[in-house]
A = this chain, B = another copy of it.
Amino acid sequence: MTFTAVPPTVPPALPDAVEPKRPRGRPRKTEDERDDGNRRHALLTAAAKLFRRQGFDATSTRDIAAAVGMHSGSPFYHFKSKDALLYAVMEEGMHTAIARQSAALVPIESTPMAPLANMRRLIRSHFDTLHGPGNDFVPVMLYEHRSLSARQRTLLAKLQVDYEAAWTPVLEALHASGHLRAPVKLSRLLMLGALNWSVQWFDRKKGASLDELTDACMALFLKES
């Protein structure tokens, strides 16, 4: 709006030859915005941030459009519906989280200490997914699950199973070695719950660090041997 040099109501465009220097359409603002992929991703990032802060229902598609400098109808050029945008946010979050988790794990045969070390890495990686800078995607998934359609929920559930599958062998090893006394399945649910809930109270700018949090989890959940 601020860049508009012409009055709001313009006459029909003149024949082509008149203004050869100026390409038609809105001028591109930066390199980043040149291709569709980046604009689509800008919408995803802005949506994740707003969904996390205000909630899905309390965020209008107009809010999201404004956050990336688009007009109200334009997000629907990139996403079929507001629901599809929400699902895309969650899917991106899960893909990133699964990749981060895989990278954090150490092969289990390498050393007898591996289960304890891997437990710590799983916890720390999970905290990064929840509290790392700009990591709004998974927190949105955790708290806006209810707004998905049944089909979307089924698709996401598969990704969540993949994610949690990495925990089971580690927990089983710790159970076998006596570090973990509670049943493996309930342990996984309770531990992930404890971590996920930190979204409600953790503040990167004060209190414990993510490393201290991870230490506390290890001390809380695991026995000495």
Interface residues of A, Cβ cutoff 8 Å to B: 54-55, 57-58, 143, 145-147, 180-183, 186-187, 189-198, 200-201, 208, 212-213, 216-217, 219-221, 223-224
Contact = CB atoms under 8 A, between A and B. Distances in A.
11 contacts: A54-B146, A57-B57, A58-B146, A143-B143, A182-B216, A183-B219, A186-B213, A189-B198, A193-B195, A193-B197, A223-B223
A141 to B, nearest CB: 12
A4 B189 CA distance: 52
Copies of the protein in its oligomer? 2
A195 B217 CA distance: 15
A196 B196 CA distance: 10
A76 B221 CA distance: 48
Which of the listed residues A145, A187, A197, A216 has the most CB atoms from chain B within 10 Å of its own CB?
A197
B220 A190 contact: yes
Contacts of A181: 219-220
**A interface SS class:** helix
Contact of A201 (B147, B189, B201, B223): B189
Nearest to A196: B197
Contact of A221 (B54, B147, B197, B221): B221
A186 B216 contact: yes
Nearest to A187: B220
Given A181-B220, A219-B181, A197 B192 contact: yes
Contact of A146 (B55, B180, B198): B55
Given A57-B57, A182-B217, A221-B221, 13 more contacts: A55-B147, A57-B58, A58-B146, A58-B147, A181-B219, A183-B216, A183-B219, A187-B216, A189-B197, A193-B195, A193-B201, A194-B194, A196-B197
Contact of A220 (B191, B201, B208): B191
Nearest to A56: B57
Contacts of A224: 223
A187 B192 CA distance: 14
A148 to B, nearest CB: 12
